[in-house]
């Protein structure tokens, strides 16, 4: 089975603007749709946490393109593993800025899955990252009256 999941974190450049996030989101959705990639990109506190799901070759190619992007730095590969199924099959890439969600819910989630009250995905293990992102996705979907059944 050639379905893989790749998870990494990185640090945004301090001058990253909301327009950059929008650009990244638009380009990612377009490219990933063409490449059969799905996933989720979370942003907060100048940190990114992203999951890419798809064929190993496509994931690899996309990840290498992403790590060369000057809008972020210090990528940390958290996991790249074969998987039975996608978790985010409905999104070619959904970008969620955590500040757009309710503070109390997000702060509780950050505390639930990490040792820090701040969003520091480079200190989270693969299981913590996955669970955190699933819950973020559900909060995001719930705000749209939809629930993803994981």
Q: What's the CA gap between 1 and 25, in Å, rounded?
A: 28
Give the containing element (helix H, strand E) for 116: none
The pattern of x and - marking residues 86 through 125 that bind ligand FAD according to CB under 6 A reads: -------x--------------------------------
Residue closer to ligand FAD, measured from CB, 20 or 55: 20
137 burial (CB, 10 Å; 0-12 / 13-18 / 19+) is buried
Cα angle 91-54-34, degrees, rounded to a multiple of 5: 65
Q: Please select the residue that binds ligand FAD; options are 9, 11, 50, 94, rule is CB under 6 A.
A: 50
What part of residues 14-43 is at the interface with ligand FAD (CB under 6 A)?
20, 23-24, 27-28, 31-32, 41
* Strand 47-55 versus strand 38-44 pairing type: antiparallel
Contacting residues toward ligand FAD, per CB under 6 A: 10, 20, 23-24, 27-28, 31-32, 41, 48, 50, 52, 62, 65-66, 68-72, 93
């Amino acid at each position: 089975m050639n379905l893989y999941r790749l998870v990494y974190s990185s640090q945004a450049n301090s001058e990253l603007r909301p327009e950059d996030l929008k650009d990244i989101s638009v380009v990612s959705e377009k490219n990933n749709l063409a490449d059969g990639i799905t996933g989720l990109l979370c942003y907060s506190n100048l940190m990114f946490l992203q999951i890419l799901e798809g064929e190993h070759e496509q994931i690899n190619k996309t990840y290498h393109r992403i790590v060369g992007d000057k809008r972020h730095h210090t990528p940390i590969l958290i996991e790249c593993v074969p998987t039975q199924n996608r978790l985010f099959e409905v999104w070619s890439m959904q970008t969620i800025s955590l500040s757009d969600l309710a503070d109390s819910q997000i702060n509780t989630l950050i505390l639930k899955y990490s040792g820090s009250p701040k969003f520091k995905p480079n200190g989270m293990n693969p299981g913590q990252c996955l669970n955190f992102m699933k819950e973020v996705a559900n909060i995001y979907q719930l705000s749209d009256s939809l629930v993803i059944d994981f």
